């Protein structure tokens, strides 16, 4: 059985990483256009770099929860037949043991050099303007995908969706494309679609099955069922 799992902020909520779309419409206290667009970075790089330095520190002290661990167990059983695609920029999936993982929106732990294009692990706060380890230029930005930018590894994700028997969406509100369109894509290609979410999303194409509840409970329960059915 070939499975593609898409995760969003909800899977990390119980690890203490806040989700994005709070009731007040702010993103961790900021308007999205002030911190998560290329225009914001041009206009006010200090605010943007400080925002991501703070998020990186918060994630570094968070721990994977049972939902992340259950997906790592699923990979132990399914091997190459499982691909986890995350919109999250935290590293909780890999710290739980997931290896076949696509970070379609990038990674908080990495810097992207706007001078040479090199990607490096962040050592010093980006707001302190460290030099790029490759070219030395002080032009690092977080290696995350901002609104208006192209997500990473779309070809690899689409190849996996084309052959998937099951598509599972976990803890994402389905507001941001292309990820929000994967349920329709997978469904049209014949995959069974499942949503695991605290509050079911308003998907344009309905999922075949929806299970509501906190990720730390519904994800391990779903994985246990899949494993018991072989």
Interface contacts to ligand APR, rule CB under 6 A = 8-10, 13-14, 19-21, 87, 105, 171-173, 175-176, 197-199, 201, 214-215
14 is in an annotated binding site: yes
Could you tell me the smallest distance in angstroms from the CB atom of residue 122 to ligand APR?
18
Instruction: Pick between residue 53 and residue 90 the one whose CB is nearest to ligand APR.
Output: 90
Could you tell me the smallest distance in angstroms from the CB atom of residue 144 to ligand APR?
8
| Residue 168 C-alpha from the chain's centroid | 14
Read off the DSSP letter of residue 146. P
20 is in an annotated binding site: yes
- Residue spans of alpha helices (H) in 97-153: none
What φ, ψ does residue 69 adopt, rounded to 5°? -65, -35
88 is in an annotated binding site: yes
Read off the DSSP letter of residue 31. -
Could you tell me the smallest distance in angstroms from the CB atom of residue 209 to ligand APR?
15
Q: Report how far apart, in Å, the C-alpha atoms of 114 and of each of 9, 18, 42, 138 are.
A: 27, 28, 12, 9
Q: Which residue is nearest to ligand APR (CB)?
A: 10
Instruction: Pick between residue 193 and residue 197 the one whose CB is nearest to ligand APR.
Output: 197
Instruction: Pick between residue 115 and residue 217 the one whose CB is nearest to ligand APR.
Output: 217
* Of 169, 200, 170, 172, nearest in space to 187 by CA: 169
Q: Please list the active-site residues.
A: 105
Instruction: Pick between residue 177 and residue 228 the one whose CB is nearest to ligand APR.
Output: 177
Could you tell me the smallest distance in angstroms from the CB atom of residue 49 to ligand APR?
17
13 is in an annotated binding site: yes
- Residue spans of alpha helices (H) in the chain: 10-13, 32-35, 38-43, 45-60, 66-78, 92-96, 154-162, 182-188, 215-228
Annotated binding site for substrate: 52, 55
């Amino acid at each position: 059985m070939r499975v593609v799992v898409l995760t969003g902020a909800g899977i990390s909520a119980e690890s203490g990483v806040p989700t994005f779309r709070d009731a007040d419409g702010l993103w961790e206290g900021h308007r999205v256009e002030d911190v998560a667009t290329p225009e914001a970075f041009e206009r006010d790089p200090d605010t943007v770099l400080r925002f991501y330095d703070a998020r990186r520190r918060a994630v570094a002290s968070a721990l994977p929860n049972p939902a992340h661990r259950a997906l790592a167990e699923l990979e132990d059983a399914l091997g190459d037949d499982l691909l986890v695609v995350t919109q999250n920029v935290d590293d909780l999936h890999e710290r739980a043991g997931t290896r076949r993982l696509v970070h379609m929106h990038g990674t908080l732990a990495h810097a992207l050099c706007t001078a040479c294009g090199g990607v490096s692990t962040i050592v010093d706060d980006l707001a302190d303007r460290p030099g790029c380890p490759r070219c030395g230029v002080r032009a690092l930005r977080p290696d995350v995908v901002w609104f208006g930018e192209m997500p990473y590894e779309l070809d690899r994700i689409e190849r996996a969706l084309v052959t998937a028997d099951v598509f599972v969406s976990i803890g994402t509100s389905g507001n941001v494309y292309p990820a929000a369109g994967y349920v329709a894509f997978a469904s049209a290609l014949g995959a069974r679609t499942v949503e695991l979410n605290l509050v079911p999303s308003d998907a344009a194409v309905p999922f075949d099955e929806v299970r509501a509840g906190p990720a730390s409970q519904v994800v391990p329960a779903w994985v246990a069922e899949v494993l018991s059915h072989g």
